[in-house]
């Protein structure tokens, strides 16, 4: 079960707080792919950028941290902190833009060797690694960390379901598919079937190594010893987290893949209210505003502090799903009509203009992205298609949750559907239950709002999770459209087995995108953009926005 985490621009005093807590049946991640608008920082970080260290980086964070336990956290708030604290065997390159999607060895000496037809992954742990408390890192810690995930019912266990013996790992406390040798540092993982995105899964924080004796329950407030350049010194939920350097970390052991970071300390101030957070950064109480500045105050911020803003587009797609199993959306013409009827630039405007219109499933930051323009805005054609479909006047309920700007998108859609000859009304429910409600077949949700932020940069995290008909479930369904096209399913299944994303494979994925949209199960409308705002002490020439973890706190520097 892939979870999603949403990242909403909210301005209501406490709606902000709430929206940012992981919601729905999953957590996607506000993740970035390359900053737009030419802020092309090229600093590739490797090793310690000497001379750039400074005492304290203060973040005006939001309240979205779910856990600071690598086994449990499934929010960008948690991951943003922890990817510099808890290292997996392999991980993402610290780099700005698309380059960050490259997977490099972290705790392992090299990338895994894949044998046995894509079913066996072999890695070797680097020698001499120590946790922040001084104990040695052992190969067997990898196994115990994964087993711990199962024991604590980690939201990440779904990712490891393909490992041999995963099914009863929680009960038995063992996972037979993983064998380790502490003496040589060798780690072998056996899968039940080839899995193209398994390297990405090994790179998640769920697979980060923690000591074998770590208790099998949430350790957020009693931080687990770390392997990365930083360690969590203290965490008071809803108040503050203090991140300091890990005394036992030596960047030279990591071939430059893990930079030691510039701030000696990071103070994460948890602020509930977005205008308070903005004010704290403007007044210099904090250095970085993790919140989205209220759109309302953007122009003020822009006019006064233009040089301290970065705009970026994380890998995300906002869309309306149309349930293929329920009338009238079982009719292709109706689905196409909706695609023609929505004015995507109007929807972008509803989001304050911070977004780019899209008709693709994949976001433009993906190498597999190939823009198609199947449904240019054409209200007349939409009306005509509805007439032809014979479903004119059909009752339609548009579903949405109640947080942030999103309800406005469905309000817009209702208005549009009514104008093309359907009879639409809105159904808004609390965001806490929205995803499980529309993900339940019993609800028979006809059409509704959805968005997706990647869990890891791989097309499988999109097509397989959201649009593979073989993965439709009765409850907790992520394929809200119930899109089940045998040709597309077959394509996804065959591409799933490809161990690496070559150009040829990428071409095929691009075709899947096109094939899907010809069937119009969705009406995608936007790739949303986000804003990072810093106070004037921060030197933005060091700014790096990672493709998955977004702004990299560790590589920032002072003026």
Partner 1 sequence: MAGTETEFTLDTAAELASEESQRIVGRSPWALAWRRLRRNKVALFSLGVFFLIVIACLLAPVYAKHVAHSGINTQNVQGHITVGGQQVSIVSNGGYLNKHTGKPCASTDNPADCALFASIPIGPQWFNAGGKYVLGADAIGRDDAVRLLYGGRVSLQVGIISSAICTFFAVLLALLAGYFGGWIDFVITRFFDLFYAFPVILLGIALGAALAINGIHWGPIKMDGSNPWIATLIISYVLIPYVGRPLRGQVLSLREKEFIEAAIAQGASPLRIMFSELLPNIASSVLVFFTLIIANNIVLEAALSFLGAGVQDPTPSWGKLISDGQQLIVTRPWLALAPGIAIVLTVLSLNVFGDGLRDALDPRAKVRVEH
Partner 2 sequence: MAAFLIRRLIGAVLVCVAVTFIVFLIFIVVPGGGKQGTAERIAGKNATPALVKAVEHQWGFDRPIYTQYAIMMKKMFTNKLVSYTSQQNVLTQIVQGMPATFSLTIGAGLIWLFFGIVVGVISAVKAGRLSDRVITVLALIGISMPVFWLGIVTRYYLAEGGISTFFPDGEYVGITADPLKWFSHLILPWLVLAVLFIGFYGRVLRGNILDAINEDYVRTARAKGLAPRRIMIKHVLRMSLIPIITLFGLDFASVLGGGAILTETVFDLHGVGQYAAQSINNFDLPPIMGVTMYGAFFIVAFSILVDLFYAYLDPRIRPT
Residues near partner 1 (CB under 8 A) are 10-13, 15, 36-38, 294-300, 302-303, 306, 309, 311, 343, 345-355, 400, 402, 405, 407-408, 411-412, 414-416, 426-430, 432-433, 529, 531
In the list partner 2, partner 1, none, the entry touching 529 (Cβ below 5 to 8 angstroms by class) is: partner 1
539 within 8 A of 558, measured Cβ to Cβ = yes
Considering the complex, state which of residue 227 and residue 292 has its C-beta at the smaller distance from partner 1: 292
Q: What is the DSSP letter of 399?
A: E
Q: Name the residue with tokens 């960008």.
A: 76
Residue indicated by tokens 């929206």 = 19
- On whether the CB atoms of residues 298 and 311 are closer than 8 A, the answer is no
As measured in angstroms, the least distance from the Cβ of 533 to partner 1 is 10
SS3 label, residue 245: strand
For residue 136, the minimal CB distance to partner 2 (Å) is: 30
Q: How far is CA 281 from CA 76, 275, 288, 365, 402, in A?
A: 21, 10, 6, 29, 29
Q: Which residues pair with 266 in a beta bridge?
A: 57, 243
110 binds partner 2 per the rule CB under 8 A: no
User: Which segment (112-120, 123-131, 267-275, 368-376) binds partner 2 by CB under 8 A?
Assistant: 267-275
Under the binding rule (CB under 8 A), the answer on residue 557 touching partner 2 is: no
Interface positions, 43-102, toward partner 2 (CB under 8 A):
63, 66-67
Binding-site string for partner 2 from residue 7 to residue 26, where x marks contact by CB under 8 A and - marks none? ------xxx-xx--xxxxx-
* Beta-sheet pairing, 395-401 with 423-429: parallel
* Residue 427 contact among partner 2, partner 1, none, beta carbon within 5 to 8 Å by kind: partner 1
Can you tell me the distance from the alpha carbon of 16 to that of 296, in angstroms, rounded to the nearest whole number? 14
Tokens describing residue 545: 């926005």
For the bound state, the minimum distance from the C-beta of residue 106 to partner 2, rounded and expressed in Å, comes to 28
Nearest distance, CB of residue 414 and partner 1, angstroms? 6
Largest alpha-carbon pair distance within the chain?
72
Q: Which does 468 bind (CB under 5 to 8 A by kind): partner 1, partner 2, none?
A: none
Q: Which one among 199, 273, 289, 532 touches partner 2, defined by CB under 8 A?
A: 273
Please choose which of partner 1, partner 2, none residue 349 contacts, taking the beta carbon within 5 to 8 angstroms, the exact cut-off set by kind.
partner 1
The answer to whether residue 193 forms part of the interface with partner 2 (CB under 8 A) is no
Cα-based distances in Å from 558 to 10, 229, 241, 288, 535: 29, 19, 21, 12, 10
Quote the least distance from Cβ 15 to partner 2, whole Å. 7
Contact between 222 and partner 2 per CB under 8 A: no
Count of other CB atoms within 10 angstroms of residue 192:
14
Q: Which of 98, 237, 407, 499 binds partner 2 (CB under 8 A)?
A: 237
Please state, in angstroms and rounded to a whole number, the distance separating the CA atoms of residues 105 and 109. Answer: 6
The residue from 42, 430, 502, 514 that contacts partner 2 (CB under 8 A) is 430
Please report how close the Cβ of residue 295 comes to partner 2 at its closest, in angstroms: 15
Count the neighbouring beta carbons within 10 Å of the beta carbon of residue 13: 12
Residue 306 binds which entry of partner 2, partner 1, none, with Cβ cut-offs from 5 to 8 Å by kind? partner 1
Q: For residues 76 and 271, which CB has a smaller minimum distance to partner 2 in the complex?
A: 271
353 binds, among partner 1, partner 2, none (CB under 5 to 8 A by kind): partner 1
The first and second tokens of residue 432, run together, are 């806490």
Q: Look at strands 186-190 and 120-124 and give their pairing.
A: antiparallel
Place of tokens 């490259």: 102
Q: Where are the alpha helices (DSSP H) in 439-485?
A: 460-467
For CA atoms 37, 42, 48, 53, the dihedral sign is negative
Q: Using CB under 8 A, which of 109, 136, 153, 168 touches partner 2?
A: 153
Residues near partner 2 (CB under 8 A) are 1, 3, 13-15, 17-18, 21-25, 63, 66-67, 153, 218, 220, 237-239, 271-273, 275-276, 279, 430-433, 436
């Amino acid at each position: 079960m892939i979870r999603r985490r949403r990242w909403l621009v909210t301005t209501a005093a406490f709606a902000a707080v709430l929206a940012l807590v992981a919601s729905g049946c999953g957590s996607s991640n506000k993740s970035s792919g390359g900053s737009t608008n030419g802020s092309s920082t090229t600093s590739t970080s490797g090793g310690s950028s000497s001379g750039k260290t400074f005492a304290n980086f203060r973040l005006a964070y939001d309240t979205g941290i779910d856990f600071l336990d690598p086994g449990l956290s499934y929010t960008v708030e948690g991951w943003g902190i922890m990817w510099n604290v808890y290292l997996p065997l392999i991980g993402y390159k610290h780099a700005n833009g698309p380059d960050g999607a490259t997977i490099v060895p972290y705790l392992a000496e090299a990338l895994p060797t894949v044998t046995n037809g894509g079913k066996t992954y072999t890695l070797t742990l680097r020698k001499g690694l120590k946790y922040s408390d001084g104990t040695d890192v052992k190969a067997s810690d990898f196994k115990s960390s994964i087993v711990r995930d199962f024991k604590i019912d980690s939201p990440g266990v779904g990712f490891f379901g393909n490992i041999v013996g995963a099914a009863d790992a929680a009960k038995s406390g063992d996972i037979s598919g993983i064998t380790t040798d502490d003496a040589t540092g060798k780690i072998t993982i056996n899968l039940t079937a080839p899995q193209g995105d398994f390297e990405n899964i090994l790179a998640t924080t769920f697979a980060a190594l923690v000591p074998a004796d770590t208790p099998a329950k949430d350790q957020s407030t009693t931080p687990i010893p770390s392997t990365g350049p930083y360690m969590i010194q203290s965490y008071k939920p809803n108040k503050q987290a203090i991140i300091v350097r890990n005394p036992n970390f030596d960047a030279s052991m990591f071939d430059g893949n893990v930079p030691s970071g510039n701030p000696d300390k990071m103070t994460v101030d948890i602020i509930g209210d977005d205008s308070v957070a903005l004010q704290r950064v403007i007044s210099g109480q904090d250095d970085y505003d993790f919140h989205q500045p209220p759109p309302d105050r953007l122009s003020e911020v822009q006019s006064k502090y233009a040089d301290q803003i970065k705009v970026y587009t994380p890998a995300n797609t906002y869309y309306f799903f149309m349930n293929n199993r329920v009338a009238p959306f079982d009719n292709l013409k109706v689905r196409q009509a909706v695609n023609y009827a929505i004015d995507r630039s109007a929807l972008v405007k509803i989001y304050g203009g911070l977004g780019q219109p899209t008709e693709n499933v994949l976001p433009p930051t993906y190498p597999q992205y190939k823009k198609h323009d199947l449904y240019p805005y054409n209200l007349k054609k939409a009306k005509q298609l509805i007439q032809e479909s014979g479903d004119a006047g059909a009752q339609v309920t548009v579903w949405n949750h109640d947080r942030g700007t999103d309800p406005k998108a469905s309000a817009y859609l209702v208005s549009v559907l009514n104008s093309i000859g359907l009879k639409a009304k809105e159904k808004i429910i609390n965001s806490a239950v929205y995803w499980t409600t529309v993900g339940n077949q019993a609800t028979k949700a006809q059409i509704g709002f959805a968005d997706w932020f990647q869990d890891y940069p791989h097309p499988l995290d999109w097509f397989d999770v959201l649009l593979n008909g073989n993965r439709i479930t009765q409850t907790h369904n992520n394929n809200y459209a119930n899109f089940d096209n045998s040709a597309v399913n077959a394509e996804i299944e065959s591409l799933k087995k490809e161990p690496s994303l070559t150009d040829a494979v990428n071409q095929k994925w691009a075709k899947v995108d096109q094939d899907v949209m010809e069937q119009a199960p969705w009406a995608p409308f936007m790739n949303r953009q986000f804003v990072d705002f810093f106070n004037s002490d921060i030197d933005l020439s060091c700014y790096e926005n990672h493709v998955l973890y977004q702004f990299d706190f560790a590589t920032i520097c002072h003026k």
